[in-house]
Amino acid sequence: MRRRPPRNKRLLAGSLVAFFALLNSMPSSAAAPAWVEVRSPHFVVVTDAGEKRGREAALRFELVRAAFGGVIYKDLTVNMPVPVEIIGFRGNKELRRFSPLWKGKPVELVGYFQMGEDRDFIALDLSSEGGWRVVFHEFTHLLVHANFPEVPLWFDEGFAEYFSGLEVEGDTLSVGRSLRDRGYVLAQNRWLPVEALFSVNHSSAEYNENGDHRSIFYAESWLVVHYLLTQKKIKEAADFMDLQLNNVPTAEAFQRAFGMPPAQFDKLLHKYFSGSMLYFKYPAPHSPDLDSRSYSSKALSDAEGEAILADLHLHERDYQDQAVKEFEEVLAKEPNNPTANRGLGYAYFRKGDFTKAEQHFEKAVDAGSAEAETHYLYALMLTRAAKMEKTSAERIELSVEVRSEDHTLMKKELQAALALNPEYADAYNLLALAQASEGDYLAAIASENRAFQLSHKEIYALNQADFCAQQRLLDQARKLLQKLARSQDASIAAEARRRLATLESP
């Protein structure tokens, strides 16, 4: 016969059973963290680092936008024609699951910018301050490209570097602080003559090859922009760029714009670098956009968080197949999830499976998607794209053939997209193509002009020139094509010259 354990041991055993039962009923600390969405006037932040960090991240980006539009360039209306979604990870371990791959392994980084056709993503490690400079640099590129005509590479990269060092100190913004790594490169290496610097383009070795030349190009571009801003020489710089765009040789253009030869500017630049470099401190702009307490926030369900992360994967070259599986897993839990349906519709559209794409876009719309991109992508799918091209900005543009029976639905979806986002340049462009296909060239010209005002893409101007020619507004078409024929984008310039020759032929 088995002996029963003493009563005190039985009590201990019972207590242990109860204790472990309690542990099993409690949430595990290793469970996936909750995702929170914070919406400010111009950004959406999704984060697993908590609502407070999400609000801080949204505020930082609102500050950059405000500084760009109200401090550096007074009274500038800042356009953001493509939605920007910020995903803030609580640590680098979480970010690594989404980092670009190199030889099959995640690249070590603390933040990156991912451009997309329908939206842009910014992913960063919120536990590290180092990620901000990377993403501010890329975000500044987006603002420059959206708000100004084409600028030369040295100014584009130099201005992005200059603005990447923006710091918030209480109620003030500091812009233009010295970047130690760029200063070190300039102190340790021989510089490019500015005439050579101003000639670097996207196909130059100085821009594409890793090493000293590329580092010097970035550092010197930063220094030139720093000098131009602190010495109030931006007007002269704009005149110089305009002369270059009109094919005036660099040395002559520089002399005419700045009143000195490039070699003299080289000496001034070296003297400036050796002296005390200035930087600007401004009061933080006063705007309701900068009150993070007014930002809305909400906790996301597991499925909502998973769908957003799958969307980031879909926009990255290394993870697109994985994204499809992740969307399918979300829809197995929530068949009407609008984000997953939009994402899966977009994935099928890019593969050319229009039937499945349409099914998922319809589900996303029927589920009440409040995202302008859902309606835009649905309209884009209805065009039954005939040809896809990539611009130098690496966004996909489309030459389309629209079925007549789809026009009503297509225009309805585009109007829904524009109602949700009146600054959606690509939606205006697609609307112009639909209007032109119906023979309404005056309406197409107006829509394309609005697209170009919101985002200075040269493909929009090329389309507008075509619509003007169709409407027999030949002088307007000719002026547009003559300007585009001088584009730094070789494909745009060649196409503009071809159409100009056709226009001029008897």
| Whole-number Å distance between alpha carbons of 481 and 288 | 42
> What's the pTM value of the predicted model, to 2 decimals?
0.75
Specify the pLDDT at position 27.
44
Domain closes at, from 117, 148, 179:
148
**Token pair listed for 428:** 């205006």
CATH code: domain of residue 307: 1.25.40.10
Model confidence pLDDT, tens digit, residues 457-494: 899 999 999 999 999 999 999 999 998 998 878 888 89
Q: How many CA atoms lie within 13 A of 430 on its CB side?
A: 31
Distance CA 501, CA 506 (A): 10
Residue 505 tokens read as 């032929």
Give me the helices (H) in 33-152, please. 51-67, 92-96, 130-147
**Which residue segment(s) compose the domain that 321 sits in?**
301-369
Last residue of a domain, one of 148, 176, 204: 148
Q: Is residue 155 part of a domain?
A: no
Q: Is residue 259 part of a domain?
A: no
Closest CA to 125 of 105, 111, 107: 111
How much is the pLDDT for 211?
Answer: 67
As a whole-number percent, the residues of the chain with pLDDT over 70 amount to 82
> Does residue 187 form part of some domain?
no
Q: At residue 231, does pLDDT exceed 70?
A: yes
Q: Which residue has the higher pLDDT, 480 or 388?
A: 480
Residue 85 maps to which CATH number? 3.40.30.160
Most confident of 9-23, 213-227, 266-280: 213-227
Q: What region does 394 belong to: left with phi over 0, alpha with psi -120 to 50, or beta?
A: left
pLDDT, tens only, 294-329: 899 999 999 999 999 999 999 999 999 999 999 999
Mean pLDDT (the chain, rounded): 83
Confidence class for position 407, pLDDT limits 50, 70, 90:
confident
Overall domain count for the chain: 2
Domain end, chosen from 369, 390, 406, is at 369
**β-strand partners of 124:** 88, 111
In a domain, 381, yes or no: no
Write the pLDDT tens digit of every residue in 33-67. 689 999 998 899 999 999 999 998 998 888 888 87
Q: Is 364 inside any structural domain?
A: yes
Residue 280 region by backbone torsions, left for phi larger than 0, else alpha for psi between -120 and 50, else beta: beta
pLDDT value, residue 397: 43
Residue 476 lies in a domain: no
Q: 369: Cβ–Cβ under 8 A, 6 or more apart, which residues?
A: 338, 339, 341, 342, 375
- pLDDT in the model for residue 14: 45
**141 lies in some domain:** yes
Give the pLDDT score at 148: 79
Task: Tell me: pLDDT of 28 over 90.
Answer: no
Please state, as a whole number, how many other Cβ atoms lie within 10 Å of the Cβ of residue 324. Answer: 18
